[in-house]
Structure 1
Amino acid sequence: MLHLVTGENTYQAEQEVRSIARASKGEVRWVSGDTLTPDGLADILMGVSLFASSEVTVLTHVGDTPTIWEKLGEWAERVDPGKTIIVWEPKPDKRTRAYKSLAAHAQVHICPLWTDRQDGLAREWLAKRARESGVKLSPGHVASMVSRATRPTDAPGISVIDQRQLHNALTALSVVDDITDDAIAATMPALPAENIFHLLTYAVERDVASVQRMLAELRATDDAHRTFALIAGQWFQLMSLALVPAGSAESLGIKPYAARSLSGLVRQVNRAQLRDLTQLCADIDAGMKLSQFEPWDGVERFLLGIALR
């Protein structure tokens, strides 16, 4: 039986692989696609083996080698039905003939990352796993952990929840006698979006020294374009909150926690400043895309524009 496991939720994908292996009652053999030759792949898929009825072969990174990926698609319909073969490919190119052939001849298991719109599902899962593991988490702890496991994506307005990070943090907390906010923070360091919020807060509060200190740290560890995108995203949320009636955050797609965090900043920026700074943000964004200046200079210019308004 041929299985195709896809999706970027590596925790769920790993659980799927284990479930298939348990059902097959066989030992698992992992084979990386970059070590395979066409002959080696043919032997795995169709060759005679003493372990054909029990061994489970997991093929990973097959898509990284085009010739092997193409052969896998070509031979998918010829896989020995007595074998259990799992192809684990998080982000296969669905436009390829190989993918279409695999999808047609394999049992497909899709493991997508949870989005921030599924935070309720994530909290429910985490609370259940904590109970099963004997870890005492309060509802506040659960909410905090899910928030820390949430990160932005390249798609505007879309964030994802890292289920593996939640699992790993829960494992770490299982040896802690007294679970506190500090213990959670130690096992789940602040995500870039949280650092960006602090950076924006310093700028709005005109704390130039702190802005420059954080920028120096980010220059050494992060990407300027990514940092600017996160700052701009939070700035536009702040602007939106300033221009709509109180209590309208949810209709704008802004989460209550983010709205509460930004509300204190909204009162410190007047409408004229909002207009001028939003135009500055747009101008810097356009300049960065045209490579008119160093990206980090653009990030600093916008933040200092806010701080020195």
Structure 2
Amino acid sequence: MITVLTGDNSFEINRALGELTDNSNQLVENYDGETLTLEQAADIFSGISFFGDGRTVIIRSLSSNGLVWAKLTDFLNRHHGDTTVILIEPKLDKRTSTYKELKSAGAIREFHQWTARDDAAALQWLAARLADEQIEISSRDVRYLLERVGRDQWALARAVEKLALIGRVDQAVIDEQIEASADYNIFQLLELALLGKAQAVEEELRSMRLSQDPFALMALIGSQVVQLLAVASATKSDHPAQDFSIHPYVVGKMERLSRNVDSAVIRRAVRIIADTDYRLKSSVDDPWLAIELALRKISRK
């Protein structure tokens, strides 16, 4: 039997791998697919079929090994036996004949990171994890926790583990105990600037210098200010959450912010951030100083 676990959601891939191996009495062998030789592959796949039991072999990133990957279907078609092979592949080229063979055999299981379209599933999953740990929390605060942490399941799982030590949880506890995602912090930063709170902006930036990459920060600020403009400009028939993959709770916060900030101020902020981003990409300016100056300009209105 062969199973391919693929996608950018390493949490779900890890969970699926555990399901396949934890309850097995088979000997488990691990291989680095990038360095696997044809001789090693022949030994591993000798006796393989799409159905069967025996030893379990886990191979990571075999598709990066073009020589062996191209021969994989030959191994599968020639050999029969009791070896279970699990391939872990973060990304697969769907154009290859090997991928098409595995897909047609039903061997591929795909796991993708959650997006805005998966928020209902994310809330259900998070609520179940919290309940499993017997954490007392309102449905409103479950939503707030998801908003603060984001859709990364590893980060959400770590948050649940931390909150399990407390037992009873509300928004104040979440704020005190759970680190906010970069997206959440950057929205707070942008909100402070648009509301003209220059001193608070400087304090936030001082904290961010300790843990953030300035170029990544600039990219996220640019993304969020454009999203804010989209939300502020949306009509009743528009759906910015779906169109721009924005978390619905963030859309709600952006809508509330846009009611307190003139649209001309938001458009001006977009121009300031775009100009700053261009200068950072085409000069040797101090990135932190450039970001600080841009946010100061925005906060002056």
Give the TM-score of the pair, scaled to structure 1. 0.77
Closer, same or farther: CA 267–68 of 1 in aligned 2, 3 Å: same
- Alpha-carbon distance in 2 for matches of 1:79, 1:211: 64
Which residue identity lines up with residue 145 of structure 1 in the other structure?
Answer: L
- Where does residue 55 of structure 1 map in the other structure? 55
Task: Note the alpha carbon deviations across 1:175-195, whole angstroms, 9 max, x for none.
Answer: 433334355446641000111
Q: Which residue of 2 aligns with 1:167?
A: 157
| Unmatched segments (≥5 aa) in structure 1 | 151-160
8 Å Cα contact 1:24/1:54 also seen in 2: no
5 Å-filtered alignment, 1:115-130, equals 115-130=115-130
CA contact (8 A) 1:141 1:181 kept: yes
Q: Are 1:204 and 1:268, in contact at CA under 8 Å, matched by a contact in 2?
A: no
SS of 1:86's partner is strand
Could you say what secondary structure the match of 1:221 adopts? coil
Q: Who is 1:46 aligned against?
A: 46
137 and 32 in structure 1: CA distance in 2 versus 1, 3 angstrom threshold: farther
Which residue of structure 2 lines up, in the alignment, with residue 251 of structure 1? 239
- CA RMSD in angstroms comes to 3.3
Residue 13 of structure 2 corresponds to 13
Q: Percent identity?
A: 29
Q: Which residue is 2:80 aligned to?
A: 80
Match of residue 179, structure 2, among 159, 170, 189: 189
* TM-superposition CA deviations, 1:270-302 (whole Å, max 9, x none): 34434433333333344445x245354543343
The CA deviation string for residues 28-54 of structure 1, in whole angstroms up to 9 with x for no partner, is 333333553332222111169xxx943
**What amino acid is the match of 2:204?**
M
Q: Which deviations, in whole Å up to 9, do the C-alpha atoms of 1:201-248 show, x marking residues without a partner?
A: 221233333323433443453333432232223223433444456xx4
Does residue 302 in structure 1 map to residue 290 in structure 2?
A: no
- Distance in 1 separating the partners of 2:93 and 2:136: 42
Q: Residue 305 and residue 256 in structure 1: after superposition, are their counterparts in 2 closer, same or farther (change >3 A)?
A: same
> What SS class does the counterpart of residue 232 from structure 1 fall into?
helix
1:117-173 C-alpha deviation (Å, 9 max, x unpaired): 2111111222234334433332123212322342xxxxxxxxxx2223333333343
In 2, distance between residues paired with 1:60 and 1:176?
A: 38
Name which of 214, 224, 232 aligns with 1:224.
214
- Show structure 2 runs of 5+ residues with no match: none
Q: Among 177, 189, 209, which residue is 2:167 paired with?
A: 177
**Secondary structure of 2:5 counterpart:** strand
Question: Which residue matches 2:89?
Answer: 89
Which 10-residue stretch deviates more, 102-111 or 78-87? 102-111
Q: Secondary structure at the match of 2:239?
A: helix
Secondary structure in structure 2 of the residue aligned to 1:109 = strand
Pick closer, same or farther for the CA change 1:227–1:45 going to 2, 3 Å.
same
Query: Which deviates more from structure 2 when the two are superposed, residues 54-63 or residues 109-118?
Result: 54-63
Shift of 1:197: 1.5
CA distance in 2, matches of 1:232, 1:164: 26
Distance in 2 of aligned mates of 1:217 and 1:131: 34
Classify 1:107/1:134 alpha carbon distance in 2 versus 1 (closer, same or farther; 3 Å).
same
Query: Are 1:207 and 2:197 an aligned pair?
Result: yes
Which TM-score applies when normalising by structure 2?
0.79
Give the partner amino acid of 2:240. L
**Distance in 2 between residues matched to 1:278 and 1:191, nearest whole Å:** 22
- The separation in 1 between residues aligned to 2:42 and 2:175, in whole angstroms, is 49
